[in-house]
């Protein structure tokens, strides 16, 4: 039973669970000694996690031939954007007290902020053009090329994480490893495809794929 | 009924008895029930996963009370910096949010990782350029001077701060006991090295054992203390039990924990963090809002328990007491 509509509800609700739990912990004063740091770290990690899951959709679909996985990609990508926005918000709110001028000067002073900021802003055009209308307007191929930026944003996000740790790089290293696997699978799939007759998959406005 | 078959075929909807619809209804109900169950189950699983990966820190238990702690009286404390008149950081935050890489690099997990750390028997070797070097048993060492309460600001190099009621005594009382000779100009400190008891030492996160250092005049300053307690209780393992250094005008990492060795030396000793990042962490590491960390600003700080940032003070607010130690020194070069 391929009940896509219901599965979408499941993915949507599950993606909100971390936010709901973090908000609950916050309301209970249970985010520990440094709630701001906890929220910043949590939203940052969630951004990377959702970015990675959305980037895993295509390789998974190619490897397993379960085509309908593509139906969830837009939602997962938008969740990455959403958590990225919350991450930026915690920074602008608590670290900069909504002083945008100081946030801008901070970009110059702290390279890891610049990298993180850039990665987030790369996601903005992707979020905007995630609609059916924009896929139609841009045409499938151009749209797909534009959305390769998600990989750039992911690399930027991991570099941003790496740059801010003091000496223990093990966690960013793990994220980098997963990203390398995701990128590697792309290359692998591309090479497999060159051996078999060409078959380009272009996203349809409906969210499905047109072989 | 004889003409049963044909009647069935032309039966109009209004002829269907309500009883015949029920299976359909039941089907929908069952499907909705299964959907609800699936949604609940996945939500619970995701929640469980989140809790496993990103659990909020747990509050910790009470420790043993220390007897005979002297509280400095107001007259004595005035102008000394011994007692800062600011709201104390709650006990559970001081003991639940720690940088102690010997156990783990996750601040909220140090307490559980360090729980059960055995601190008896414990000796502290005080050696080097001294007339009367000695290996102290910890309990003897703690009897060298009355234990005092000192309420200090603690500013971490990462940009957060606390106000902590330490219990301890001035380091100079210990140094006086071993009589540094005239060649001694610096003091080096060393943390216990025992990867079995300190699992973080099995990682290459820093070079072990952790070492720190002070100039002799910094070490002799009355604000510099050896702490063996906080909030009137025995120092918890995660805060550096059984004995740690507290130098309130320097970034927190200068306050080396679980000390086993104190050595009087001639030359400026190596220190762990400046070895790990020479351009980021200097030997002095005095709190200074005007000298940024290469990767982040030191102009302000998050006081634990507050949401709005507050400005960081020169020498962490102890400029009046310690400023003279650095007269004429370029604090930007000697960061």
pLDDT of residue B141 exceeding 90, the answer is: yes
List chain B residues with CB under 8 Å of A35.
307
Question: In a mutagenesis test of the A interface, which of B54, B159, B199, B293 is the best target, namely the one with the most A β-carbons within 10 Å?
Answer: B54
- Find, in chain A, the residue whose alpha carbon is nearest to that of B94: A33
What are the percentages of helix, strand and coil residues in chain B, rounded to 5? 30, 20, 45
The pLDDT of residue B124 is 98
Question: In a mutagenesis test of the A interface, which of B31, B42, B43, B46 is the best target, namely the one with the most A β-carbons within 10 Å?
Answer: B46
The pLDDT of residue A199 is 54
Beta carbons of A34 and B297 less than 8 Å apart: no
Q: What percentage of chain A reaches a pLDDT higher than 70? A: 91
| pLDDT tens digits, one per residue of B166-215 | 999 999 999 999 999 999 999 999 999 999 999 999 999 999 999 999 99
Pick the range with the lowest mean pLDDT from A85-89, B109-113, B259-263: B109-113
pTM of the shown model: 0.79
* Residue B1 banded pLDDT, cuts 50, 70, 90: very low
| pLDDT tens digits, one per residue of B43-98 | 999 999 998 888 766 655 667 788 788 887 776 777 899 999 999 999 989 999 99
B205-229: average pLDDT: 97
- Find, in chain A, the residue whose alpha carbon is nearest to that of B158: A166
* Residue B3 banded pLDDT, cuts 50, 70, 90: very low
Q: Is A30 at the interface with chain B, CB within 8 A?
A: yes
The pLDDT of residue B12 is 59
Instruction: Find tokens 């841009």 and name the residue.
Output: A138
B118-142: average pLDDT: 97
The pLDDT of residue B78 is 77
B34-40: average pLDDT: 91
Coil, strand or helix at A3: coil
Q: Is A103 at the interface with chain B, CB within 8 A?
A: no
Per the DSSP assignment, residues forming a β-bridge with B154 are B162
Beta carbons of A25 and B56 less than 8 Å apart: yes
**CB nearest to A32's CB, from B57, B105, B203:** B57
The pLDDT of residue B7 is 47
Q: Are strands B160-170 and B300-303 parallel, antiparallel or unpaired?
A: parallel
The Cα–Cα gap between A208 and A202 comes to 9
The pLDDT of residue B62 is 66
Beta carbons of B97 and A30 less than 8 Å apart: no
Q: How far is B82 from chain A (nearest CA, A)?
A: 24
List chain B residues with CB under 8 Å of A14.
42-43, 46
Residues in chain B: 335
List chain A residues with CB under 8 Å of B295.
110-112, 163-164
Q: Is A45 at the interface with chain B, CB within 8 A?
A: yes
* Residue A155 banded pLDDT, cuts 50, 70, 90: very high
**CB nearest to A9's CB, from B39, B46, B93:** B39
pLDDT of residue B320 exceeding 70, the answer is: yes
- Return phi, psi of residue A154, to 5°: -65, -45
- Find, in chain B, the residue whose alpha carbon is nearest to that of A8: B39
A window 1-20, beta carbon within 8 A of B = 6, 9-10, 13-14, 17-18
The pLDDT of residue A195 is 72
* Helical segments of chain A, H only: 4-27, 35-64, 73-90, 100-109, 111-128, 132-138, 140-146, 149-164, 170-195
């Amino acid at each position: 039973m391929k009940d896509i509509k219901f599965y979408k509800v499941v993915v949507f609700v599950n993606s909100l669970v971390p936010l709901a739990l973090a908000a609950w912990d916050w309301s209970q004063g249970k985010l520990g000694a440094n709630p701001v740091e906890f929220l910043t770290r949590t939203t940052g990690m969630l951004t990377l996690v959702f970015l990675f899951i959305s980037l895993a959709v295509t390789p998974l679909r190619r490897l397993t031939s379960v085509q309908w996985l593509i139906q969830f990609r837009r939602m997962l990508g938008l969740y990455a954007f959403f958590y990225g926005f919350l991450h930026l918000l915690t920074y602008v709110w608590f670290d900069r007290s909504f002083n945008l001028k100081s946030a801008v000067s901070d970009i110059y002073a702290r390279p890891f902020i610049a990298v993180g900021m850039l990665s987030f802003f790369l996601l903005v055009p992707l979020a905007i053009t995630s609609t059916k209308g924009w896929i139609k307007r841009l045409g499938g191929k151009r749209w797909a090329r534009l959305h390769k930026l998600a990989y750039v944003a992911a690399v930027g996000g991991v570099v941003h994480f790496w740059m801010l740790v003091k000496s223990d790089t093990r966690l960013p290293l793990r994220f980098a490893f997963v990203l390398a696997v995701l990128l590697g699978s792309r290359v692998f799939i591309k090479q497999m495809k060159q051996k078999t007759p060409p078959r380009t998959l272009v996203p349809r406005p409906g969210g499905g794929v047109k072989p | 009924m004889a003409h049963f078959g044909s009647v069935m075929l032309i039966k109009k909807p209004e002829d269907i008895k309500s009883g015949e619809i029920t299976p359909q209804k039941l089907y929908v109900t069952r499907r909705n029930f299964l959907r609800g169950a699936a949604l609940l189950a996945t939500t619970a699983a995701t929640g469980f996963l989140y809790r496993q990966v990103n659990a909020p820190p747990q509050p910790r238990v009470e420790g043993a009370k220390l007897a005979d702690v002297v509280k400095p009286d107001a007259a004595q404390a005035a102008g000394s910096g011994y007692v800062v008149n600011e709201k104390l950081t709650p006990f559970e935050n001081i003991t639940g949010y720690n940088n102690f890489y010997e156990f783990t690099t996750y601040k909220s997990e140090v307490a559980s990782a360090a729980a059960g750390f055995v601190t008896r028997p414990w000796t502290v070797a005080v050696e080097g350029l001294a007339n009367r070097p000695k290996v102290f048993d910890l309990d003897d060492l703690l009897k060298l001077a009355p234990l005092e309460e000192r309420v200090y600001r603690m500013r971490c190099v990462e940009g957060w701060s606390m106000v902590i009621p330490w219990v301890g005594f001035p380091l100079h009382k210990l140094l006086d006991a071993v009589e540094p000779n005239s060649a001694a100009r610096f003091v080096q400190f060393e943390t216990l090295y025992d990867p079995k008891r300190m699992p973080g030492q099995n990682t290459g996160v820093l070079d072990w054992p952790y070492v720190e250092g002070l100039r002799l005049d910094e070490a002799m300053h009355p604000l510099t203390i050896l702490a063996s307690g906080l909030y009137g209780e025995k120092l918890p393992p995660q805060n550096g039990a059984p004995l740690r250094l507290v130098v309130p005008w320097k970034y927190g990492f200068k306050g080396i924990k679980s000390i086993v060795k104190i050595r009087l030396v001639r030359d400026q000793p190596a220190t762990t963090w400046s070895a790990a990042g020479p351009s980021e962490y200097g030997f002095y590491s005095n709190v200074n809002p005007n000298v940024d960390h290469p990767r982040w600003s030191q102009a302000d700080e998050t006081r634990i328990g507050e949401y709005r940032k507050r400005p960081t003070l020169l020498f962490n607010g102890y400029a009046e007491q310690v400023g003279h130690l650095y007269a004429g020194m370029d604090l930007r070069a000697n960061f």
